[in-house]
Amino acid sequence: MIGQLPPYALATPAFRFRALASHAGRAALGGDREIALACLAVARLAAGLLPPVMLAPGDAVTRANATRHWLASLTMPAPSRAAAAAAIDAIGRGSRRASAESLRVLRDVAGSQLDAPSLAEIEDLANELQGATAK
């Protein structure tokens, strides 16, 4: 049984967006932190379109609406807010291709406020969403 989990044990969960969460925690209060948090929320929402989660269309719409409502409470520059809102809309529609494209726009707009590992996480997610559309 060495190296194996007992049948009642749970596997350690893996958090996909460590760099974004870490950057948000380190960022200065105000705009930089709020942009990082918005990117993290949008990325987590977009990841729900992929296996193993695969949100049902109704659930994706509900979560997108809640995220959009939360986004309205943040103080962000207009271009970042618009890019995040466009990504949320694409995710709410369930379009993986549009979600990938809008994530890349968000990455480009918010790029100066994020670090390289955070940008890489967003790009990896966009690539995975883009690849999932081909299947």
Question: Has residue 11 got a pLDDT over 80?
Answer: no
DSSP symbols for 42-90: HHHHHHTTSTTT---HHHHHHHHHHHHHHHTTS---HHHHHHHHHHHHH
pLDDT band at residue 135 under the 50/70/90 scheme: very low
Q: What are the pLDDT digits (tens) for 22-76? A: 999 999 888 899 999 999 999 999 999 999 889 999 999 999 999 999 999 999 9
pTM confidence score? 0.87
Q: What are the pLDDT digits (tens) for 79-98? A: 999 999 999 999 999 999 99
pLDDT band at residue 15 under the 50/70/90 scheme: confident
Q: What is the pLDDT of residue 53?
A: 87
The whole-angstrom separation of Cα 24 and Cα 36 is: 5
pLDDT band at residue 2 under the 50/70/90 scheme: low
